[in-house]
Amino acid sequence: MSFARLAPFIALLACGHAGTQIATLPVASNPGSWPTPLAVDSANVYAAPSDVAATALSVFAVPLAGGAPVQLIGNRHVQAIAVSMALDERNLYLAARDFTGGSNTNGSSLIWRLPKAGGQDPVLLAQANGVSSLATDGQLVYWAGSDGIQAAPADGSGSARTLLADSFHVTSMALDGSSIFYIHLPVGAVQTLSVRLMPKLGGGWQEIATLPASQSTWNFDA
């Protein structure tokens, strides 16, 4: 799955030999340099187009078979810019930078849950700092930010806990049955990126590969 920007629209593309446009999504202003988080299931592509003015947090479901996009949440909820998205069977999880008051100088972030079918307000699961990536296994929601790697119950029944406390930047993360995989970007001068894994229950990490420090290597799946 890939996407392209066509300001003032986000165009979703289903990958093929030439790519087929399946929808365009309006944004409130120039999308700027923030990425647009995407996730896909068997029925829809879900997208959270960014608004450089942070006047709206919008999430759309776009049918893979074609048809009009459905807006799941819109600008009446929160001033924020989405940075990462994950799905389970019923819900969509979103990490967003909080732009309440018009700025995000402290990196304050919000972790939301909302039903993929829409029709309900999003539920705030946690507040965090500098979140850059998010994943879920349906039981817990995991995210990486400036406080390290943290997790909270996906159903909102408990508070967040820290699985790995460290000062680094995680550019992407993914899960399997027992482990968290993440790309570690060191603080300071960067020559290589480190692909690491750690237990979902927390504990030490293990390096499994190093990658050149180029944006083409910053995203992966397990």
CATH number (1.10.579.10, 2.102.10.10, 3.10.20.30, 2.120.10.30) of 2-132 reads 2.120.10.30
Q: What is the pTM of this model?
A: 0.83
Average pLDDT over residues 138-145: 95
Q: Are 79 and 96 in contact (CB under 8 A)?
A: no
* Residue range 164-174: mean pLDDT, rounded: 81
Q: What is the residue-wise DSSP string for 126-154?
A: EEEES--EEEE-SSEEEEEETTEEEEEET
Burial environment of residue 204 by CB neighbours within 10 A (0 to 12, 13 to 18, 19 or more):
exposed
Please indicate whether residue 6 or residue 60 has the higher confidence score (pLDDT).
60
The residue ranking higher by pLDDT, 49 or 160, is 160
Q: Is the pLDDT of residue 87 over 90?
A: yes
